Amino acid sequence: MKQHTTRMTLTIDNKTVTADTGASILDVARQNGIDIPTLCWHEQLSPHGGCRMCIVEVEGLSHFPTACTTPAADGMIVRTHTAQIREMRAEILQLFLSEHTASCLVCDEQEECREYMSTVRKAGVTTGCRYCPKDGQCELQAVTESLGVRDIIYPIYYRGIPVETEDPFYDRDYNLCILCGRCVRMCQEVRLADVLAYKHRGRDAIIGPAFARTHLEAGCEFCGACVSVCPTGTLREKARAWEGAPDREEITTCTFCGVGCQVRLLVKEDRIIGSLPADDPTVNQGQLCVKGRFCNTELVNGHQRIRHPYRRENDIAWDVSWDAAFELIAEKLRSSAPERTGMLVSSNLTNEDLYVAQKFMRVVMKTHHIDSTARLFYGSGFSAYLTLMDRAVPLSAIRDASAVLMVGLDTRFSRSVVGVAIRTAMKRGIRMFTLHSREHTFSLNADVWLQPEVGEEYRYVEALVRLAAGEDVTDRSIPADMRVRLADVARALSESDSPVILVGAEFLQYDSSRAFLAAVAQLADHVGAGVLTLPAQNNLYGSLLSGSFPELLPGMRPTADAARLQKLESLWGTSLTGLTDAWNADHLLRDDCAMQFLYAVGALPPVHRGAAKFTVFQNMYPPEPYCSADLVLPTAAATETDGSFLNGERRVQRVRRAVAPPGIALPDWDILCRLARHMGAEGFAFTRPEEIREEMAQVIPGFGEAEIDARGILPLAFDAVMHVSGNGTAQRPPDSDHPFILHSSVVEHTHRGFPLAAWVEGSRILFPEGVLDISAEDARALGLRDGDSVHVSGASFEEIYPVRIVRQQPRGALHASILESALTHPNPQPVSVRKADV
């Protein structure tokens, strides 16, 4: 009996090679250093054979198969570069070029043009390679050069297709498209988004969304995966169009949410010119969301970046030196009482930044008054959310799940790599359910969409808990059809052997969020589900671990933990008994807030002028117009420093310096260490983040390299009680004076306190801040158009918003994304609406 083998031997270009059974001829050739030109093939995509540039001769076959689609076989004899093959490839390529703006590709003077042309390239329509943003990086250009094509024997046909520029982040010039289908296959096979497809036929064939819709209208996530695989200049990034090829790359961690995707930062002349997904199998698997893919460049290169410390007094600002800034801070701190001194930090900072910040407050200022803006973001549900985080499962649990319930999660513009994982699992056959009051990414393709009215979401989760416990649902406020759907979801989750619950940010600012999240935890217990909280902040777990809260010491132990205090006193060489801990970030929202000194590190304090007698603002961008500050310090961005993060699954991730910070800006930890030394404090002689991590490992159980498990995850447990604001009052129903329900949510598309829309142009289209969403029916009844200003008034507030008409917005419901300082309670609440000019 013949023995089965998984290896085969074949001959390619007179070279005997071996390969695994099932590999294509192209795979085998590339594995053995034999170059075969391709234009439609890509390693992430299924073989297509559309460009036919990879045709080869196979002995025994009368035709010329494409190497990418033809399986290699044992004993096969292949020739890849015969004269006939090269001639056929050249002819095929000329057919491509006859409908491509290709004058430079076959021009006799292209080398002189490349060397001596100095015209600024800003052509709206590409008229040649020198005017193409892909010049020098174009695969069509490379294949043309490798085949030595210097003429086009076919009639030249310019398609004259208008360049599409209406969508954010990238433009599309389909005059350059060779219909290779890479973008279509990426969108359909890898992202599973199905936004792109072929349209029309023959000479009129083109690629794009159906029915002449824009990508925004068609549901595009703007992940940029199609741009990454385009072999020509058809798809081009707006912010990177004329930057050329990068000099080098640096792999780091994305800082825009708690997923923690790995990215490749593209660097040219010590400047970030773009970012691409890294091939990371544990988290993002070679994919990114719109923020990680497109927002880095504009965010870190903005011309408004702070480059020098400056002082502001009586609306006059002037630059000061670091020494002068440190002396001023020291003077103010020495005269400020510990109980009236506070530090506000961001959960976007690195573990090293956060550790030094809390140590500074406890050692130098003798107070526990350090808090994160995360407390303001999660509001009354903060403790309940942290409890859910404590049972976090890895992202890989989605891929292994048999049923998934999404609660308040929309993955279109944030955490879209999670959306890809869910769609992949759905393709495998899992059941997927979503609970959301508004239309979102999965509202159409979920098995069941539980759509409560705004503010009624808690009733639905509570009903699921009762149903999972074998009880009946008696709440008649839930429509009958929804009670049937709830029973179906509860039964499916209970019968599933590996269910997962994903928690989004949609309901986190509700006054009832504490009870809502507690009910989610109950449901997870009843059905045995893993929970993935997907925090909006990239380092929320790191802020807890480092002790950046008045209730917590490093290692997430309560400040009353005598043993932990004693260990810190021994390590830090100072007494920590009797430190004040009565202040937290909630106090900044009070009208009677009267701090003597407030230090905001990477955070945007929600304070009015005069809330603190002296405010230090340490960040990338100036605080105006969001808040006021007396002293402003320039800090390095995440692309300009080294450190580590903990994502939402407690995975330890590295952030690496790719470029130098602008001006004389410094990393946050470095600024605080220099200030501490200026004030004569001991224990702040750190010169590198590695030294900080070494000290952290001494006081934080599990932080040492040897204690991290094989997946890179810290085996930690949260064990503390956090102070939360809000009373969890029941929602008031609409009435004749206030016929609408307003749901306000804190902007989650932020970085270091600033909404991304402030510094990234495309973000203003995708996630604007301070805009009121209203249904088309309600807008028509009120005589409103997009952009109109309206007065929105409730029982205790009145605000003016610009209107955005959203077709999917439920009738009678309004939604506003706002900063923490603008959040009003109760939330949701009944309101009235009228045009501002009436």
3-state helix/strand/coil string of 236-289: EECCCCCCCCCCEEEEEECCCCCCCCEEEEEECCCCEEEEEECCCCCCCCCCCC
pLDDT tens digits for range 602-615? 999 886 555 789 99
Domain membership flag for residue 794? yes
Segments forming the whole domain that contains residue 751? 740-835
**Which of 245, 335, 326, 256 minimizes the C-alpha distance to 293?**
256
Position 116 pLDDT exceeds 80: no
Alpha-carbon distance 248 to 258, whole Å? 27
Answer left, alpha or beta for residue 181, where phi above 0 means left and psi between -120 and 50 means alpha. left
Whether residues 444 and 314 share a domain: the answer is no
- Structural domain total, the chain: 4
Residue 639 and residue 687 in one domain: yes
Residue 614 sits in a domain whose CATH number is 3.40.50.740
Between CA 261 and CA 654 the distance in angstroms is: 11
Residue 612: inside a domain = yes
Cα dist from 683 to 562, 730, 769, whole Å: 21, 50, 42
In this structure, the answer to whether residues 522 and 549 fall within a common structural domain is no
For the chain, the straight-line distance linking the first and the last C-alpha, in angstroms and rounded, comes to 91
- Return the closest-CA partner of residue 631 out of 178, 326, 179, 221: 326
pLDDT at 4: 52
| Calpha distance 677→291 (Å, rounded) | 37
Same domain, 625 and 673: yes
Alpha-carbon separation of residue 624 from 313, 374, 604, 619, 629 (angstroms) = 13, 21, 10, 12, 8
> 401 and 360, same structural domain?
no
> Of the candidates 710, 731, 764, which is a domain's last residue?
710
For residue 125, pLDDT over 60 is answered with no
Predicted confidence (pLDDT) per residue in 168-193, tens digit: 999 999 999 999 999 999 999 999 99
Q: Which residues of 332-355 are buried (b: 16+ CB within 10 A; e: fewer)?
A: bbeebebbbbbbbbbbbbbbbbbb
| DSSP class of 71 | B
Residue 215 binned pLDDT confidence (cut-offs 50, 70, 90)? very high
Mean pLDDT of the chain: 91
* Residues 608 and 706 occupy one common structural domain: yes
- Residue 142 CA, distance from chain mean position: 33
Q: Is the pLDDT of residue 127 over 70?
A: no
Domain boundary among 693, 710, 727: 710
Overall residue count recorded for the chain in this entry: 838
Does 643 lie in the same domain as 588?
A: yes
What CATH code is carried by the domain that includes residue 794? Answer: 2.40.40.20
Measure the CA–CA gap between 103 and 267, rounded to whole angstroms: 30
Identify the DSSP state of 452. P
**Nearest CA-CA partner of 32 in 53, 18, 14, 47:** 18
Q: What is the pLDDT of residue 1?
A: 40
Structural element, H or E, at residue 91 = helix 83-98
Backbone angles phi, psi at 98, to 5 degrees: -65, -20
H-helix or E-strand spanning residue 96: helix 83-98
pLDDT score for 711: 64
**What mean pLDDT is predicted for residues 804-830?**
89
Band (732; pLDDT cuts 50, 70, 90): confident
**Which CATH number fits the domain that encloses residue 430?**
3.40.228.10
562 and 513 within one domain: no
Question: Could you tell me the sign of the dihedral formed by the alpha carbons of 33, 39, 43, 47, in that order?
Answer: negative
pLDDT for the residue numbered 734: 84
Distance (Å) of CA 150 to CA 21, 97, 129, 185:
39, 11, 14, 31
φ, ψ of residue 650 to 5 degrees: the values are 70, 25
In a domain, 371, yes or no: yes
576: pLDDT strictly greater than 50: yes
Asked if residue 43 is part of any domain, the answer here is yes
Mean pLDDT throughout 724-734? 67
387 falls within a domain: no
Asked whether residue 552 carries a pLDDT value surpassing 90, the answer given is: yes
Same domain, residue pair 751 and 656: no
CATH number, domain containing residue 70:
3.10.20.740
| Token pair in block for residue 734 | 């609409």
What whole-number percentage of the chain has pLDDT above 70? 94
Residues 469 and 402 in one domain: yes
Domain check: are 563 and 509 in the same one?
no
In whole angstroms, give the CA distance from residue 580 to residue 340: 10
8 Å CB contact between 757 and 768? yes
Q: Which of 513, 532, 551 is the last residue of a domain?
A: 532
Residue 529: partners with Cβ closer than 8 Å, 6 or more residues away: 405, 493, 496, 499, 500, 501, 523
Q: Given a cut of 70, is residue 838 above it in pLDDT?
A: no
Kindly calculate the radius of gyration of the chain based on its CA atoms and give it in whole angstroms: 29
Query: pLDDT at position 706, please?
Result: 45
Give domain status of residue 650, yes or no.
yes
Task: Tell me the C-alpha to C-alpha distance, in Å, between residue 681 and each of 4, 573, 578, 676, 689.
Answer: 72, 10, 19, 5, 19
Q: What is the pLDDT of residue 178?
A: 93
Please report, as a single letter, which amino acid is at residue 283: V
Domain membership flag for residue 325: yes
pLDDT digits (tens, 9 = 90+) for 483-528: 999 999 999 999 999 999 999 999 999 999 999 999 999 999 999 9
- Taken in order 243, 667, 653, 403, is the CA torsion positive or negative? negative
Q: Is residue 20 domain-resident?
A: yes
Contact 39, 178 (CB under 8 A): yes
Give the confidence band of 235 by pLDDT, cuts at 50, 70, 90. very high
Q: Among the listed ranges 101-110, 149-158, 356-365, 444-453, which one has the minimum average pLDDT value?
A: 101-110
User: Long-range contact list for 592-597, CB < 8 A, 24+ apart?
Assistant: 594/340, 595/340, 595/341, 595/342, 596/335, 596/336, 596/337, 596/340, 596/341, 597/332, 597/333, 597/336, 597/340, 597/341, 597/342
Distance of CA 688 to CAs 457, 633, 727, Å? 47, 20, 44
Residues 702 and 553 in one domain: yes
